[in-house]
Structure 1
Amino acid sequence: MRMSFNMKFNLGLNGVLNTNAKMSRAQEQLTKQTRILTPADDPASSAKVLGLDQSLAQTEQYQNNSILLKNNLALQETVLSNMRTSMDRARVLAIASGNGAYAEEDLRAVAAELRNIQIELQDLMNTKNAEGGYIFAGFQDKNVPYVFNPVSGRYEFEGDDGQKSLQISPTIALPGNDSGKFVFDDVPARFKTSAASIVAGGATSASITVTNQDQFDRFYRSNYDNLTPANNTFNVVFTAPDQYEIQQNGTALVPPVTGTYTAGESINFRGTRITVDGPAVPGQVDFSLQPPEKKNILDTLEEFIARLENPDLSAFQLNEGILDAISQISNSADKVDNFMANVGGRINVIDSVFETNEDLKINNKSYRADLSEVDYAAALTEITKQEIALQAISATFTKVSGVSLFDFLR
C-alpha cells in the first residue's frame, strides 16, 4: 500500500495526541483523587458511588440532628434538675411551717422564701433554648408557657401538648422537648374528703381528718367512682347498742366494716380519723370522696403562701394547707423525676445511635474508596509510562515525517 506524506503525518500526530490524552487522564485522576472521572468510565461502580454519597449525606444530617437534639435535651435536663432542688427546699419549708412554735412573723418569713422559690420555678418553666423557643411550650414555642392571670388568680399554661421530634436514623425519631402540660400541670393534687356532715341523730359536731395519706390514697384510687358520683358517699351508721357500720351509698362494704363505738373516741377508717361529739347513737354521719384535681406547683405555692400570710387562719386550716402543699410538692417532684429519667433515656439512645451512624459512615467511606479512589502508585506509574511513550512517539514522528524520496536519492 502506498503511504502518502499526509497519512504518515496524521498517524504520527494521532499517536502523540492519544498518548498525551492518556497522560492527562492519569494526571486528572491523581488531582481529583478518583479513578471514575465520568460515569462512562465504570457505570456499575459510578451508580454505587452515587448511592453511597447520598447515604453519607443523609447520615451526616442524622448526626447533625443528634447533636441538636442532645443539646436541647441536656438543657431540659438541667432545668428539671434545678427545679427539683427548688422543690426539695419548698417541701422542707412546708414541713417546717407545721412547727407549733412558729409565730406569725416566722410563717411570714417562710412565705417570703416560698415566694422567691415560686418566682424561680416560673422562670425555669419559661426557659428558652438556643433558637429562642420556650422549651416547655410544645409547638407554641413563641408563647410564654406560664403566665399569671390576675382575674382567676391562677398560673395558666399558654402552650400546647406538642413535641418536636427529630430523625436521628432512618427508623428512629425522638422528641427534643416535653410540654409543660404533662410535666407540670398533669400532676394530681392531694386526695381529700368532704367535711363530715350529720345526717341523723343527736350528735353536735362531726369531723374527718386524713391521718395516713398513703393508706387513704390507696383507698381513694380503689373506690372513687367517676361514673356514679353517689357511690363516692360513705355513711357512718351508729346503731344501738353502741355499734357502728361504715357503708358506701347505703350499702354494706365487702367485707363489712363494723365496730364498737365509744363516745368521745374516734373511728379509724382507711387512713382517716372520724370524730363525733354528742350522742351519736342512733344516728348517721356522711362524708364523700372529693373529685380528683390537678394543678401545677405554682398554683399550689400561691395557695399555701396565702394561707401562711393569713393571720386569721385556724390551726386546722393551716394544717390542711401544709398537708396539701407537701403532697402536691411531692407529686410534682416525682413527676419531674420521671421526666428526668425519660430525658436521660432519650440521651442514651441518641449516644448509641450516634456511634452506630459513625460506624456506618466509616464503612460507607471505605467501600466508596474501594470503588472510586485512585491508586496513587498506579497513577504515578501510568503518568511516567505515558511520558516515556510520548517522548518515544515524538522522536519517531520527527524522524519519520522528515523521510522523503529526495533523501533516498541523496
Structure 2
Amino acid sequence: MRISSKTIFDNGVGQLGTLQSSLAKTQQQLATGRRVLTPADDPIASARALEVTQSQSINTQLATNRSNARSSLSQEEVALTSATQLYQDVKELVVKAGAGSLTNKDRESIAVELEGRLQDLLGIANTADGSGGYIFSGFKDSIPFTLNGTGATYQGDQGERTLQVGSSRKISISDSGTAIFENNTTGNGRFKTGADPANYDRGGTGIISPGAVTDPSALTGHQYAINFTVVPATPGVPKVTTYTVMDLTLGTPVPPAPDPADPIPYTSGKSISFDGLQFEIKGDPADLDTFSVDPSDQKSVFETMTDMLKALRQNGEGAAGQARLTNVLNQVNSSIDNASDNLLAVRASVGARMKELDYLDSSGEDLNIQYATTLSNLTEVDTIQAISLFTQQQINLEAAQKSYKTLTGLSLFNYIG
C-alpha cells in the first residue's frame, strides 16, 4: 500500500492536534479545579450538579429568610421586654395609689405619672419595623393604636406575617396587637367581681375581693348580683345587714340560705361561696348596695389603664371614696396581672420561634456541607490524578512532536539529486 507524504503530514498534524487538545483540556481542568467543564464532558453529572446547585441556592435563600425572621422577632422581643417592665411600673403605681393616707392631690400626681406610662405603652404598641410598617399591625401598614376616651382603638388586623424558613416550615415573624394588648382576661380568669358605682353615693364602704374558683365543674358562667339590705339600729336592736345572691342569667335566687329567697346575714370578710366560686366582701355596705360577679371577658390594657386614671381623679377621700377606689384598683390589679401573664406567654412563643431558627440554621449549615461535598464529587477535578495525566499527556505530545519532525524529514526528494 502506498502512503504519500501528504498523508503522513496530515495524519501527523491531526495526531498533534488531538494531543494538544487533550493537554489543553487537562490544563483548563487544573486551572479551574473542575472536572466537568461543559455538559458534554459528563451529561449525567452535569444534570445532577444542576439539581444540587438549585437546592443549594434555595437553602441559601432560606438562610437569608431565617436571618430576616430573627431580626423581626428580635425587634418584637425588645418591645415586649419594654412592655413587661412598664406593666411592672403600673402595678407599683396601683399599690401606691391604694394607700389610704393619700390625698386627692397625691392621687392626681400618680394619675399624671400614669398618663406618661400610657403614652409609653402606646409608643411600644406602635413600634415600627424599620421597613415602613409596624410590628403589631398585622398585615396592615397603618399605625396600630390610637388613644380614645375609653382606651385605644386598634387599626390593624389579626394577621401574622410569616416567612418560609425551611423546606417545609413557615414561621410567624410578628404577632397582632390584639393578641398582645387587647386579649387580656379580666378578673381571675374565670370570673370578675365589681362594685356598683352608686354604692359611693349611698355611702357604702364595701370592698369585694377578686375571688377564686373552688370547684371548676360547678361553674355556670352566669351573671350574679349580690344585693344588700340594711335595717338601721333602733334602741336596743343593733343594725342588721343581710344580702341575697341573684342569678341574673336565670332570674332566680341562689342558695345556700335555707330558703334561697331568704336574706343571708352579712359578716365583714366572711367568704361567700356558691356555684363553684368564692370571694369576700369587707367593710360596711349601705342599704341597696350591689356587687356583681360576671364571667371573665377580654379587655384592652389601654382600657384598664384608662379606668385607673378615671378612678384616681374621682374623690377618694373618706371611707366611701376609699372603698370605691379600692374596688377599681382591685380590678385593675387583676387585669394588669393577666396582661403580664399574656405578655409572658407571647414572649415565650417568640423565644421558641427564635430557638427553632437556631435549629434550622444548624440543619441548613449541614445541608450546605452535604451539597458542597456532592458538587465536589460530581464536578471537581482530582488534582493528583489530573497532574499525573497532564504530565503523561505532555510527554506524549513532546514525543509526537519529535517523531513528527523526524518523519517529515524522510522525504524522497532528499535523495533525488
Please, what TM-score do these two structures have when normalized by structure 1?
0.83
AA partner of residue 41 (structure 2): D
- CA deviation profile, 1:63-118 (whole Å, cap 9, x unmatched): 11111111111111111011101110110111111101112222122112211111
Which residue in 2 is equivalent to 1:229?
none
Give the Cα separation in 2 of the matches to 1:147 and 1:159.
11
Q: CA deviation at 1:388?
A: 2.2
Give the Cα separation in 2 of the matches to 1:305 and 1:181.
22
- CA deviation profile, 1:299-320 (whole Å, cap 9, x unmatched): 2212212221334772232112
Which runs of structure 2 are paired with 1:156-235 in the superposition (5 Å)?
156-190=153-187, 191-193=192-194, 195=196, 209-211=207-209, 213-215=210-212, 222-225=219-222, 232-233=223-224
Which runs of structure 2 are paired with 1:112-131 in the superposition (5 Å)?
112-131=112-131
Q: CA deviation at 1:27?
A: 1.5
Give the Cα separation in 1 of the matches to 2:279 and 2:11.
110
Q: CA deviation at 1:178?
A: 0.5
Which runs of structure 2 are paired with 1:11-410 in the superposition (5 Å)?
11-140=11-140, 142-149=141-148, 152-190=149-187, 191-193=192-194, 195=196, 209-211=207-209, 213-215=210-212, 222-225=219-222, 232-233=223-224, 248=247, 249=250, 256-258=255-257, 265-266=267-268, 268-269=271-272, 270-273=278-281, 289-290=293-294, 292-311=296-315, 314-409=321-416
Q: CA deviation at 1:348?
A: 0.8
Determine if contact 1:263/1:277 at 8 Å carries over to the other structure: no
Q: CA deviation at 1:235?
A: 7.2
**CA distance 1:285–1:218, shift in 2 (3 Å):** farther
- Report the secondary structure of 1:12's partner residue: helix
**CA distance 1:67–1:276, shift in 2 (3 Å):** closer
Give the Cα separation in 2 of the matches to 1:397 and 1:311.
117
**CA distance 1:219–1:12, shift in 2 (3 Å):** closer
Give the Cα separation in 2 of the matches to 1:89 and 1:132.
30
**CA distance 1:286–1:298, shift in 2 (3 Å):** closer
- Report the secondary structure of 1:257's partner residue: coil
Determine if contact 1:195/1:207 at 8 Å carries over to the other structure: no
AA partner of residue 314 (structure 2): N
Greater mean deviation of Cα atoms: 369-378 or 83-92: 369-378
Q: Which runs of 5+ in 1 are unaligned?
A: 198-203, 226-231, 279-283
Give the Cα separation in 2 of the matches to 1:160 and 1:36.
54
- Report the secondary structure of 1:173's partner residue: strand
**CA distance 1:221–1:319, shift in 2 (3 Å):** farther
Determine if contact 1:138/1:180 at 8 Å carries over to the other structure: yes
Determine if contact 1:118/1:298 at 8 Å carries over to the other structure: yes
- CA deviation profile, 1:167-204 (whole Å, cap 9, x unmatched): 1111111100000111111112332356499xxxxxx9
Q: CA deviation at 1:285?
A: 9.4
Give the Cα separation in 2 of the matches to 1:51 and 1:296.
52
- CA deviation profile, 1:27-54 (whole Å, cap 9, x unmatched): 2212222101122222222222111111
Give the Cα separation in 1 of the matches to 2:95 and 2:23.
88
Give the Cα separation in 1 of the matches to 2:195 and 2:185.
17
AA partner of residue 94 (structure 1): V
- Report the secondary structure of 1:115's partner residue: helix
Give the Cα separation in 2 of the matches to 1:91 and 1:31.
71
- Report the secondary structure of 2:87's partner residue: helix
Matched residues, percent identical?
A: 24
- CA deviation profile, 1:353-403 (whole Å, cap 9, x unmatched): 110111111112112211211111222222222222222222222222232
**CA distance 1:4–1:58, shift in 2 (3 Å):** same
Determine if contact 2:146/2:152 at 8 Å carries over to the other structure: yes
Determine if contact 2:69/2:163 at 8 Å carries over to the other structure: yes
Q: Which runs of 5+ in 2 are unaligned?
A: 230-240, 273-277
Q: CA deviation at 1:258?
A: 2.7
When the two chains are superposed, the root-mean-square deviation of aligned CA atoms in Å is 3.3
- Report the secondary structure of 1:223's partner residue: coil
Determine if contact 2:193/2:211 at 8 Å carries over to the other structure: no
AA partner of residue 393 (structure 1): A
